[in-house]
């Protein structure tokens, strides 16, 4: 409709029955199709899966801390409250999966994987719209990996108002070496001020063995002249070594 900040996005998913989550699994937190849920924070425990069925809308956010947890299902997670909260936030987690879900967010990143190991992100749809709390509309990444290792991001879509797929080794209190990360068969669309795929700026710890392949970068643009942006960006502005 001529307005790239108000797109109609259409996703084709696997059948819900093929997503590997049984209806009677006691370790599943299930949100049913056709219902709207208002739950501010969801804290999955070790081994639990948050499953959002197609047609379900969950107003809330998901936070995993020191657990092996999972998010799945083709429904919608709409981050609420909107200001300064991550849609899906994993901290010090291990062997997690994020699959098939649509995550909508207006500020503070749709997906943040921090100090984690062994996270698999697949068919993930992260959508960060124009940030109402920033005059420029940006500062709203979609799928960031901070100080993490042994992670894969495959078949995933990112629509951002800042960086789309971004790696950092030191930001705020998150600190650690980043290594063995693979992005494959992903689509990025950075509307304002962001980069398609980005290493940096915050790289005080070393970064190594990063692979990008089959990435389709639709757009990397913006209105803020001071926000350096590119389809592929390497911003090594700190003490860490970027290798491989």
Q: Place 227 in a pLDDT band, splitting at 50, 70 and 90.
A: low
Q: Provide the pLDDT for residue 204.
A: 96
pLDDT beyond 80 at 226: no
Q: What is the pLDDT of residue 154?
A: 98
Kindly report whether the global pTM for this prediction surpasses the value 0.85: yes
219: its two tokens: 């757009």
What pLDDT, on a 0 to 100 scale, did the predictor assign at position 129? 87
Spatial distance between the Cα atoms of 153 and 164, rounded to a whole number of angstroms: 12
The pLDDT confidence band at residue 224, using thresholds 50, 70 and 90, is: low
Q: What local confidence, expressed as pLDDT, does residue 207 receive?
A: 98
Give me the pLDDT at residue 191, please: 84
Maximum distance among all alpha carbons in the chain?
A: 53
Of 1 and 22, which is predicted with more confidence?
22
177-216 residue pLDDT tens: 999 999 999 999 988 778 999 998 899 999 999 999 999 9
Interstrand relation of 70-72 and 94-99 (parallel, antiparallel or unpaired): parallel
Q: What percentage of residues in the chain have a pLDDT greater than 70? A: 97
Task: Check residue 173 and give left, alpha or beta (phi > 0: left; psi -120 to 50: alpha).
Answer: alpha
The answer to whether 177 and 155 are in contact (CB under 8 A) is no
**Per-residue pLDDT tens digits for 52-109:** 999 999 999 999 999 999 999 999 999 977 777 899 999 999 999 999 999 999 888 9
* pLDDT higher than threshold 70 for residue 225: no
Check residue 7 and give its pLDDT.
Answer: 81
Return d(Cα 242, Cα 235) in angstroms, integer. Answer: 10
């Amino acid at each position: 409709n001529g307005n790239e900040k108000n797109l109609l996005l259409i996703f084709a998913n696997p059948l819900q029955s093929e997503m590997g989550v049984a209806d009677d699994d006691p370790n599943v937190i299930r949100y049913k199709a056709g219902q709207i849920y208002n739950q501010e924070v969801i804290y999955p425990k070790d081994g639990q899966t948050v499953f959002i069925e197609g047609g379900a809308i969950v107003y809330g956010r998901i936070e995993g801390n020191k657990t092996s947890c999972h998010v799945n299902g083709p429904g919608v997670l709409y981050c609420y409250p909107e200001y300064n909260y991550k849609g899906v936030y994993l901290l010090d987690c291990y062997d997690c999966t994020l699959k098939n879900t649509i995550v909508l967010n207006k500020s503070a990143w749709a997906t943040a994987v921090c100090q984690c190991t062994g996270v698999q992100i697949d068919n993930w749809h992260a959508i960060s719209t124009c940030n109402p709390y920033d005059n420029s509309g940006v500062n709203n990444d979609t799928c960031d990996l901070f100080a993490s290792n042994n992670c894969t991001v495959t078949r995933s879509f990112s629509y951002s108002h800042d960086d789309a797929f971004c790696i950092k080794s030191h930001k705020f209190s998150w600190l650690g070496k980043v290594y063995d990360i693979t992005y494959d068969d992903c689509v990025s669309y950075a509307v304002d001020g962001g980069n398609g795929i980005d290493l940096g700026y915050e790289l005080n710890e070393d970064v190594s063995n990063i692979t990008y392949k089959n990435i389709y970068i639709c757009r990397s643009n913006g209105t803020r002249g001071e926000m350096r942006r590119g389809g592929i960006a390497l911003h090594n502005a700190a003490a860490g070594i970027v290798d491989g």
